[in-house]
Amino acid sequence: MTIDTIDITPRLRGRPREFDMNAALDEALRVFSERGYYAASISELTEAMGLTAGSVYKAFGDKRGVFLAAFDRYRHVRQQLIDESLASAANGYDKLRALVTFFAEASCGEVGRRGCLVVGSATELALFDQEVAGRVGVAFDFDERRILDLIRLGQTDGSIPRHVDAEAAACAMLCLTKGMRVIGKTGRKHETMLAVAEVTMKLLD
């Protein structure tokens, strides 16, 4: 599955869709991820999205509207990709390894340099924009809950020791995986981030 194969096109006040909304949002989120919200200009967004300024304003209202739509698109697609990565893992521990590896591989090379739209929003916008802060909070809570659920699954199926403090470990792993995305902006090597993933898994020993 690629980022442009999931259709979460918003309904635009009853107007028929005149362009590929998902493809346009994928380009917008690339600009926001690379440049940040404030540095991204409408002209950059319209060029990347292949739209006129008028089409962007009609569809999204303003730059903030584009950002919110791109944020939701990003989260939805990432969750689908993560679910696919975890699906074939046999137990709670293996599912967590797949999850941590997913973040490690997203945090190196050119992909890593683009960063994470959720993490970037937490540092750039959440303090000043209540709606964005709410979205970031929901995203972080969701990720922490998934980690916690997988730890408890592992403790139930025997792949993770019962002495592990599930809640503390889940929070620590959330911090580490989000930190990977920040460090990834510096262009870390693939093997470096995979080594970080291995150390992260030692929290479950």
Q: pLDDT tens across 115-160, in order?
A: 899 999 998 998 889 999 999 999 999 999 999 999 999 999 999 9
Categorize the per-residue pLDDT at 107 as very low, low, confident or very high, splitting at 50, 70 and 90: very high
Q: Cα separations (Å) of 33 from 118, 135, 153, 171, 181?
A: 9, 16, 33, 24, 11
Instruction: Give residue 144's pLDDT.
Output: 98
Quickly tell me which residue has 């995986």 as its tokens.
177
- Does the structure show a pLDDT above 70 at 90? yes
Cα diameter, the chain: 59
Is 12's pLDDT higher than 60? Answer: no
Asked if pLDDT for residue 81 goes beyond 60, the answer is yes
In the predicted model, what is the mean pLDDT of residues 170-185?
Answer: 96
